[in-house]
């Protein structure tokens, strides 16, 4: 039973870790192999010392499990054991354990049954490379056209009187329809401030009207107040980069997700009027969370229910060709202005937490192949491209991230900017040339969240972009970040969305081109006060702690790492620290 419980913890409960918090996964008696790096370096059962888990035992066990699942895929034995384990280890309350396992059980088992996992392969992962070859996430490569890369013209400042396009960025709204004023903001559950959170102790205050500094999402009134405020702001286009529902991932239905999608979409249309909005798909849009099967999975297991609902909700903003690829795989391209094309990627196809990638992780949905074709056509037509998505590339699976990095390198003259969300905080990732990893050539801007989760002020951003005129670069020139300071709101008695900072002004940057961000990272290393200012703004103006030593190394390493799991990008930062230790430290801080 002990061995089986360990296996189920990592294979079943491990998929919940990113949403139920770092403690959920770490309670599985050690690191889950699915989140560990190379199999040769991770023999988790030997480290745990809980069972004499030999290669022979592993192969025999998984051969039996695989045979049983093939004969009876609907078996609930795995779910029952995982439920017992969740409760026994106190990973969450009994109610949440039961609901979470019931919600995830069918999809996880379906993904396993449909996958090409063999006992020898999974034992190569769990026990070590001597027991089998693990290559489910092995290297693959997207072919690039033979057309030579055009000469690269470094970005340059526009004429002082050149027109500026203002891009409103909204991300990670996370509306909680069960947010309840007066409820406990410090409950045991992964999400609090809601009707099931109970009442706070008598000496502590309950959840307040506009939001709370805790592991809480937002009431609808705060989101509506933001959109009312945005009516007075000037912007030309909106990039909306995903995550609409709340973090109650243990108890969500497809109806709940569609309700959240339609409610927030209708509010945006109501208050932002004629603005064109370009959305992308977040990892919380589906249920179970992170569950995004590739398009060849049909029937009730497919994502057709979600993509169809999105196409219906967003059709006032998108043309038919965009709606067609949205329905197929959750991604699309659209022409924004003359000379500017937008690409909206479904970044769930690069996610470690998307357990459906066990079925096929090689360019899922052929999305990167499609991206190359779009970029090649844009290059030939003289168009610039903005890429939007939810999960930043540096947080993706390694092989996906490295392919994407190569694509950005090839089309650096076409890709004018990249915009992402997901982490809830204010950061960026710099891309460098593949040959020397020294010449900065692109920046992935990562905008702060609308939600407070966890312990943040609500926020949004407006980018100033070079355009709209013939020959404009469509590069980001500057950006402004606005917040709702909850502390001040409760002192004054009313919410007020105010400017937190302007990028170039705050950090004394000449411009916001890739070279300027590379220079900023260097200055973070040299000037402690500048880095601690960044750390304060990173948290949207709500943190009392300082970030030093390993924390600082991990932060700066993350800013350089647009390419996932690449020690070379941080080689001059480590100074005796192990790269994997730095990455592990940062990963635990960034779970959201």
> Which residues make up each annotated binding site?
172, 174, 243, 283, 390, 422, 424
CA atoms lying within 13 Å on the CB side of residue 542: 22
Strand 237-240 versus strand 164-170 pairing type: parallel
Per the structure block, which two tokens stand in for 296?
Answer: 């060849």
75 vs 69: CA distance, rounded Å: 7
Q: How buried is 378 (Cβ within 10 angstroms: 0-12 exposed, 13-18 middle, 19+ buried)?
A: buried
Nearest to 247 by CA among 212, 275, 288: 288
Contact call for residues 313 and 265 (beta carbons, < 8 A): yes
Tell me which residue has tokens 């989101």. 223
Please report the DSSP string for 468-526 in residue order: SSTT----EEEEEEEEE-HHHHHHHTS--EEEEEEHHHHHT-S--SHHHHHHHHHHHHH
Report the alpha-carbon distance of residue 140 to residue 262 in Å, rounded: 37
Largest CA distance in the chain: 73
Is the peptide bond preceding residue 288 cis, with omega within 30 degrees of 0?
yes
- What is the 3-state composition of the chain as percent helix, strand, coil, each rounded to the nearest 5? 45, 15, 45
End-to-end Cα distance, the chain: 32
**CA dihedral of residues 27, 290, 242, 263 (deg, nearest 10):** -100
d(CA 481, CA 310): 28
Helix or strand holding residue 341 (H, E) = strand 340-344
Sheet strands (E) in 369-496: 384-388, 415-420, 427-432, 440-446, 459-466, 476-484
Does the N-terminal peptide bond of residue 2 adopt cis geometry, omega within 30 degrees of 0? no
What's the distance, CA 186 to chain centroid? 25
Strand order in the sheet with 476-484: 277-279, 237-240, 164-170, 459-466, 476-484, 497-502
For 263, the token pair is: 């409610």
How far from chain centre, in Å, is Cα 135? Answer: 24
CA distance 327 to 317: 15
Binding residues for Zn(2+): 172, 174, 243, 283, 390, 422, 424
- How many residues does the structure list for the chain? 592
DSSP β-bridge partners for residue 238:
168, 277
DSSP H or E run through 335: strand 332-337
Joined tokens for residue 135: 């290559």
- For 337, the enclosing helix (H) or strand (E) is strand 332-337
């Amino acid at each position: 039973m002990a061995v089986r419980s360990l296996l189920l913890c990592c294979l079943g409960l491990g998929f919940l870790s990113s949403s139920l918090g770092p403690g959920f996964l770490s309670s599985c008696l050690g690191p889950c192999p699915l989140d560990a790096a190379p199999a040769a370096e991770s023999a988790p059962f030997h480290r745990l010392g809980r069972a004499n888990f030999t290669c022979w035992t592993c192969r025999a066990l998984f051969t039996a499990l695989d045979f049983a699942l093939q004969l009876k895929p609907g078996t609930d034995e795995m779910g029952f054991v995982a439920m017992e384990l969740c409760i026994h280890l106190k990973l969450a309350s009994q109610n949440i354990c039961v609901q979470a396992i019931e919600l995830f059980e069918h999809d996880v088992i379906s993904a396993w049954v449909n996958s090409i996992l063999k006992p020898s392969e999974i034992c190569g992962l769990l026990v070590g490379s001597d027991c089998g070859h693990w290559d489910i996430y092995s290297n693959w490569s997207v072919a690039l056209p033979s057309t030579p890369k055009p000469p690269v013209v470094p970005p340059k400042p526009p004429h002082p009187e050149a027109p500026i396009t203002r891009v409103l960025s909204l991300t990670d709204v996370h509306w909680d329809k069960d947010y309840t004023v007066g409820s406990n903001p410090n409950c045991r559950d992964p999400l609090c401030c809601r009707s099931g959170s109970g009442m706070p102790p008598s000496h502590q205050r309950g959840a307040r009207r506009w939001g709370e500094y805790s592991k809480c999402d937002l009431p609808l009134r705060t989101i509506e107040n933001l959109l009312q405020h945005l009516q007075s702001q000037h912007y030309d286009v909106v990039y909306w980069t995903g995550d609409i529902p709340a973090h109650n991932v243990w108890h969500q239905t497809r109806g709940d997700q569609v309700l959240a999608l339609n409610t927030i979409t209708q509010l945006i249309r109501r208050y932002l009027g004629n603005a064109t909005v370009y959305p992308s798909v977040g990892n919380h849009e589906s249920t179970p969370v992170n569950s995004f099967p590739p398009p060849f999975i049909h029937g009730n297991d497919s994502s057709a229910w979600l993509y169809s609902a999105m196409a219906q909700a967003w059709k006032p903003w998108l043309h038919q060709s965009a709606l067609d690829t949205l329905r197929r795989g959750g991604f699309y391209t659209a022409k924004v202005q003359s000379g500017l094309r937008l690409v909206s990627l479904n970044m769930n196809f690069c996610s470690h937490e998307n357990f459906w990638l066990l079925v096929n992780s090689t360019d899922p949905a052929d999305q990167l192949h499609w991206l190359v074709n779009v970029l090649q056509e844009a290059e030939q037509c003289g168009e610039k491209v903005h890429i939007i998505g939810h999960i930043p590339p540096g947080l993706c699976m390694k092989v996906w991230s490295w392919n994407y990095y190569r694509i950005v390198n090839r089309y650096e003259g076409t890709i004018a900017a990249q915009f992402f969300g997901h982490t809830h905080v204010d950061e960026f990732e710099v891309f460098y040339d593949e040959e020397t990893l020294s010449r900065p050539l692109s920046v992935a801007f990562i905008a702060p969240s609308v939600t407070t989760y966890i312990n943040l002020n609500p926020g949004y951003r407006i980018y100033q972009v070079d355009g709209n005129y013939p020959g404009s670069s469509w590069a980001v020139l500057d950006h402004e970040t606005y917040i709702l300071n909850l502390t001040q709101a409760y002192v004054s008695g009313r919410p007020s969305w105010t400017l937190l900072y302007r990028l170039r002004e705050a950090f004394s940057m000449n411009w916001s081109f890739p070279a300027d961000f590379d220079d900023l990272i260097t200055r973070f290393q040299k000037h402690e006060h500048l880095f601690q200012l960044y750390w304060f703004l990173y948290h949207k103006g709500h943190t009392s702690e300082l970030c030093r030593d390993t924390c600082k190394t991990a932060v700066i390493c993350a800013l350089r790492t647009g390419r996932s799991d690449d020690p070379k990008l941080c080689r001059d930062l480590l100074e005796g620290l192990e790269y994997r230790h730095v990455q592990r430290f940062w990963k635990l801080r960034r779970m959201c």
